[in-house]
Structure 1
Amino acid sequence: MAKVALPVSPVERKLPAPTWWTILAGALLLVVFAGYTVWAGVWTTAGVYLEDFRSYVATGKAVRAGTPLYEQGISHLPTIGGTFKYTPFAAGLFVPLTAIPKLLLPLFALLVNLFSLLAVIWICLGSLGHARDNGRIAATAALTALALPLQPVLMNFTAGQVNLILLLLVLADLTGRNRWWTGAGVGLAAAIKLTPAIFVAYLLLTRRFKAAAVSVATFAATVLAGFIALPRDSAAFWAANIADPSRITGDSDATAPENQSIRGALARILDIPDVSGPIWIPIAAAVAAAAFWIALRAHRNNQELLAVSVIGALMVLVTPWTWTHYWVWFIPFFAMAATAAHNARTWYPAAALTATYLLLFPWQVGTGRKDIPLVGLVVLPENYAPPAQAAAHALYVVLGLALLLLAGIRPTWLSPPNPQKVTTTTKATTTTGVRGQAPGGGVGVRPPQKGETPG
């Protein structure tokens, strides 16, 4: 008889959960939420609160009325250029918004984004091995309270954007257990905003062919549904140059500080508003090759949250036009860094996290249209010194590249390997077998056949 240890699952880590900490975390979330309502009131008074969300509602109404969604000069949606920016399938998803009473729409948008943020933090902590206990609940509340003021997150709440929902779809899909429907979340996210399709390449790279097939099949089903429900709009959308950034921005000027992509950073450095593909695509390709290698290594080391987050950061970096609110992919890194700072025996991780947090904090740097606050160092206005502007306007790109570099050279600083829990079972072994082979060796033992004697 011999005892054999078999790996079962990652060890569940415990977070501190004294009563005072749980109460403090909940109170912090309530205070931040109350502060956000004051912030939202300023934008509501200016008449620009939830602008993107209002465009989603208008798109739902246009679908019901049969109004064209993608035709310049004919479509009259409250968006840049008057046209819808997402897929026809996404337009169909916005139709139910038209059934919600107008007075309840702001509350609905707020609760959806708040739930998405809470769920993202909860999933991140779970992926890092933390048990489903009061400690994880308190940590989720505290980290959500701290994440909401980050400029990319705050602007998603203020504009009523969908980026937190897309982040949730991808994380829930790829960081949990493999199921037969794994990949469907990626397919749905790509069906709304196209860019998450990069995760199909990640699934192929990590040899999860079934999940990649589910993603592609889900996406294809949404395209087919779009053609069935909105044939004219679907033909117009898929026949257009969907990779043209002017479809999103209304012009080809990539130098605006709101464009926090590799293409935008290069446009500002070279002072080329319409920076061409031969200039920025080779650089983006080199970053992509490095990021995929980093993600593959993290996946093989059972650091799935880190792997998925690296691909998410890459997605935002290589998009031709990246609004600052796309950078909600900072959130998983924030959760990983906060956990690392909590577990560290030195003050350096906490200091680095604090410094990065302050860079992402929504400091008011001026006033924008209709006197609304202009927040975030990344959009530093022209009345500041040119060197400060240049550094600030590259902030998210530099931070994104720095996170990829850190994930490449020191991955355990963000996501320490999760030890495996083992169970011990008793297994009968035979003392006979291949001549010279000790019991329990690596060579299989053929059982005696009929007519043979052991020996």
Structure 2
Amino acid sequence: MPALKTPPASAKPSGLGTIGAIIGGVASVLFILWLLRGDNSFLTYLLDVDVYRLGAKEFLGGGNLYDQSFHTRLIDLPFTYPPFGALFFAPLALLPQTAVQVIIIALSALCLWASVAAVLSHYGQARPWVEALWVVPFALVSEPVRATFEFGQINLVLMALVIADVTGVFRRLPRGVLVGIAAAIKLTPAYYGLYYLARRDWKGVAGVIGGFLGATFLAFLIHPHTTIQYFTAVLFDNGRIGNLEYAMNVSLSGLNARISADTRLIWLVATVIVTVLVYFSARSAHKAGQDFLAFIVVALGCLCVSPVSWSHHWVWLVPAAIALYFTRHYVLAAWAILMTYFLDFHALLPRDHQVEMSWNWFEQLLGLHYVLYALVVIVVVMVRPVGAGRRRR
């Protein structure tokens, strides 16, 4: 298949394009301010930001992260991230809640912009930072990104770290290190090491391991008992991360919890099968010169098999849509956009108080729609990866 045509790097700036970017940037800021407006204050209360702040404060003090729940304005919640996650938030520990919210919101918006720009640059766009401003307003409206801001989650920060690694933004940094650091903050990105395995990039694999161990060791130096406690006990306690059957858990584990009173055996078998498919799909994309698409396959597979993939974790559908568009999978790209704009069925179905366990088969399929989409992408890419664009990795 012929290479994708992209504008030359020397393309002259377009006045219309610049104006569009300015409008996109302003629209993005205004949308975020509207989305997070408070009833009686400048910003609404962001629950997860408070847990991050309280966890970091405890880590800098006694270090008792996992034997207590943290008292927020709405509900008492446990700290579920690894110890380095608390250390990562340490600079925010002594700041008031509102200041931390502003920082997290601004950082998330910048990371979304940077992530989109890195992907556009990877596909040879002439002015990726400008063109990213056209995309960001539309990305903000998508359900996973919108929910990330509403909860004050750090999904976009982690996504930026990983995309910077995969696309080689920091050339002097060993491959895989940023993925490893992301995994030390929130364990799930460890699955992304499968991308480097599919490429048979052993330096990348070593980078993931080294980044993870190095970051975790920093937390161990401060609170060894807490670190050991997490990796020997807390890690295996799924009850800490919420009710698996909850509608917003859009994953195979969520489906298993909703339809089966059995153990997690069904989920474990499904995880192995999906992971094998992901490996061969990523391998196929890599052989076709589509390394970023190979990574997208891994990221989507991770969301399918993770014990919990809340709907806001699916922010990876944004770079997935971009990658699928540039590799001429236009229907799949359009499907991702429509699905996250108008078809967030999991938010529309009956939920709470375990009512999800009484869903009929059609409701179960609707509640699993992100996963079904991801599985289709994995299979399509495995069977029919598209020829690389102008810039290959």
Q: Distance in 2 between matches of 1:47 and 1:21?
A: 32
Cα distance between partner residues in 2 of 1:152 and 1:77 = 26
Q: Deviations over 1:163-188 (max 9, x none)?
A: 11111111111222765621110110
**3-state SS of the aligned residue for 1:382?**
coil
Using the alignment, how far apart are the partners of 2:342 and 2:42 within structure 1? 19
CA–CA distance in structure 2, aligned partners of residues 18 and 180 of structure 1: 33
The residue type equivalent to 2:150 in the other structure is T
1: CA distance between counterparts of 2:75 and 2:371?
A: 24
Task: Determine if contact 1:53/1:159 at 8 Å carries over to the other structure.
Answer: yes
Which stretch shows the higher mean deviation, 117-126 or 226-235?
Answer: 226-235
For residue 315 of structure 2, give the secondary structure of its aligned residue in structure 1.
helix
Q: Name the CA distance, whole Å, in 1 between partners of 2:277 and 2:199.
A: 15
Matches within 5 A, 1:9-20: 13-14=7-8, 18-20=14-16
1:22 aligns with 2:22: no
Counterpart-to-counterpart distance in 2, 1:154 and 1:316 = 18
1:246 aligns with 2:239: yes
Change (3 A) 1:411 1:16: farther
Name the counterpart of 2:314. Answer: 327
Over 3 Å counting, the alpha-carbon distance change for 1:162 and 1:103 in structure 2 is closer
> 1:413-441 deviations in whole A, cap 9, x for unaligned?
xxx413579xxxxxxxxxxxxxxxxxxxx
Secondary structure, in 3 states, of the residue corresponding to 1:361?
A: helix
Task: Give 1:262 deviation, angstroms.
Answer: 1.1
Residues paired across the two proteins, number: 379
Match of 1:39 among 35, 41, 48: 35
Could you tell me which runs of 5 or more consecutive residues in structure 2 were left unpaired when the two chains were aligned.
none
For 1:142, the equivalent position in structure 2 comes to: 134
Q: Which stretch of the first structure deviates more once superposed, 157-166 or 351-360?
A: 351-360
Hey, what does 1:229 align to over in structure 2? 222
Indicate whether 1:51 and 2:47 are aligned: yes
Cα displacement (A) at 1:38: 1.6
**Alpha-carbon distance in 1 for matches of 2:77, 2:390:** 53
8 A contact 1:149–1:362 mirrored in 2: no
The within-5 A match list for 1:82-161 is 82-100=77-95, 102-131=97-126, 133=127, 136-161=128-153
Q: CA deviation at 1:282?
A: 1.4
TM-score, with structure 1 as normaliser: 0.75
Once the 2 structures are TM-superposed, how far is the Cα of residue 400 of structure 1 from its aligned partner? 1.4
Unaligned residue ranges in structure 1 (runs of 5+): 1-9, 342-347, 364-375, 422-455
The alpha-carbon distance between structure 1 residues 94 and 352, as it changes in their structure 2 partners (threshold 3 A), is: closer
Please name the residue that 2:251 is paired with.
261
Deviation of 1:296 after TM superposition, in Å, equals 1.2
Structure 2 partner of 1:176: 168
RMSD: 3.0
Matched, 1:380 2:370: no
Question: What does 1:345-364 align with in structure 2 at a 5 Å threshold?
Answer: 349=330, 353-361=333-341
- 2:297 aligned with 1:304: no
User: Please, what TM-score do these two structures have when normalized by structure 2?
Assistant: 0.86
One-letter code of the match for 1:62? E
In 2, the alpha carbon distance for the partners of 1:231 and 1:260 equals 34
* Number of the residue aligned with 1:410: 384
Counterpart of 1:278 in structure 2 is 265
- 2:285 alignment partner AA: A
Matching residue of 1:62: 58
Contact 2:70 2:79 in 1 (8 A): no
Shift of 1:229: 0.1
Report sequence identity in percent.
Answer: 26
Name the residue aligned to 1:218: 211
Given residue 379 of structure 1, which amino acid in structure 2 is its aligned partner?
A
C-alpha contact (below 8 Å) 1:380/1:389 kept by paired residues: no
* Secondary structure, aligned partner of 1:41: coil
Q: CA deviation at 1:267?
A: 3.3
Note the C-alpha offset of 1:381: 3.3
C-alpha offsets along residues 179-219 of structure 1, whole Å, 9 cap, x if unaligned?
56211101101111111112223323422212212221221
CA contact (8 A) 1:128 1:305 kept: no
**1:273-318 residue CA offsets vs partner (Å, 9 max, x unmatched):** x552321211221111111111112122221110111111111111
Change (3 A) 1:362 1:60: farther
Is the partner of 2:36 in helix, strand or coil? helix
What is the distance in 1 between the residues matched to 2:316 and 2:307? 17
Bigger Rg over Cα: 1
